[in-house]
C-alpha cells in the first residue's frame, strides 16, 4: 500500500502601500498561477492547488496565496515538485514562501524561501531554499 503525503503552504508578497501597485503585483501572481496546467487527475503540479483572495480585496495588504494537496508517496517525485514550485516563484512577485511536506514514512519537512528581491517584476534569479526535518519518534501503542 502506498503512503499518503500532504503538501501545503503559502506564498506571501511584500506589503505595498500603493493600491494600484498592489493590484499590479497581484495580477502578475494570478497570471502565473493561471498559466499552470489544469488538474487532469494525474498532474503533479497544477493551478487547482492554489487559491488567493480576489484582486479587489487585496487593497494595500500583503497578498497571501495558499496551496495544498494530498498525494500518494510524493517523496519519490519531490525533486520534480520543488522544481515546478521554484519555476512558479520565478514568475511571481513574492517576499517569502513556505512548503510543508508531511509523510507517513519520512516525517515532516518544512522548506522556506526568502526573497531579497523587491521589484514590480518577478524574481527570475537563483533561489535559495532552507529545509528543516522533523520526525515524531514517539511510539504509538
pLDDT tens for 19-56 read 888 888 999 999 999 999 998 776 789 999 999 876 66
For residues 11 and 89, the answer to whether their CB atoms sit within 8 Å is yes
**Residue 32 forms part of a structural domain:** yes
In a domain, 96, yes or no: yes
Structural domain tally of the chain? 1
* pLDDT of res. 129: 64
The pLDDT confidence band at residue 138, using thresholds 50, 70 and 90, is very low
pLDDT score of 137 more than 60: no
- The whole-number pLDDT of residue 121 equals 65
**Distance of alpha carbon 97 from alpha carbon 114, whole angstroms:** 7
Lowest mean pLDDT of 66-70, 79-83, 104-108, name the range: 104-108
Residue 139 resides in a domain: no
Other Cβ atoms closer than 10 A to 118: 12
Please report the pLDDT score of residue 140 as a whole number: 45
Residue 47 is assigned to a structural domain of this protein: yes
- What pTM was computed for the model? 0.85
Provide the pLDDT for residue 55. Answer: 62
**54, exposed or middle or buried, with CB in 10 Å at 0-12, 13-18, 19+?**
exposed
Q: Is residue 109 part of a domain?
A: yes
Classify residue 18: in a domain, yes or no.
yes
pLDDT at 57: 55
Pairwise CA distance, residues 141 & 137, whole Å: 13
Question: Residue 106 domain-assigned?
Answer: yes
The reply to whether 33 falls in a domain is: yes
Task: Give the residue numbers spanning the domain of 35.
Answer: 4-134
How many C-alpha atoms does 34 have within 13 Å on its Cβ side? 7
Structure confidence by residue, pLDDT tens digits, 1-18: 568 999 999 999 988 888
Amino acid at each position: 500500500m502506498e503512503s499518503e503525503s500532504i503538501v501545503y503552504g503559502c506564498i506571501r508578497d511584500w506589503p505595498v502601500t500603493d493600491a494600484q501597485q498592489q493590484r499590479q503585483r497581484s495580477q502578475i501572481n494570478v497570471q502565473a498561477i493561471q498559466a499552470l496546467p489544469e488538474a487532469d487527475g494525474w498532474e503533479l503540479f497544477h493551478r487547482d492547488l492554489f487559491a488567493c483572495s480576489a484582486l479587489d480585496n487585496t487593497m494595500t495588504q500583503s497578498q497571501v496565496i495558499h496551496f495544498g494537496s494530498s498525494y500518494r508517496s510524493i517523496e519519490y517525485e519531490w525533486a520534480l515538485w520543488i522544481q515546478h514550485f521554484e519555476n512558479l516563484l520565478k514568475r511571481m512577485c513574492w517576499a517569502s514562501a513556505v512548503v510543508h511536506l508531511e509523510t507517513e514514512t519520512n516525517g515532516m519537512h518544512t522548506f522556506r524561501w526568502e526573497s531579497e528581491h523587491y521589484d514590480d517584476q518577478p524574481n527570475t534569479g537563483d533561489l535559495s531554499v532552507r529545509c528543516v526535518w522533523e520526525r515524531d519518534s514517539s511510539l504509538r501503542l
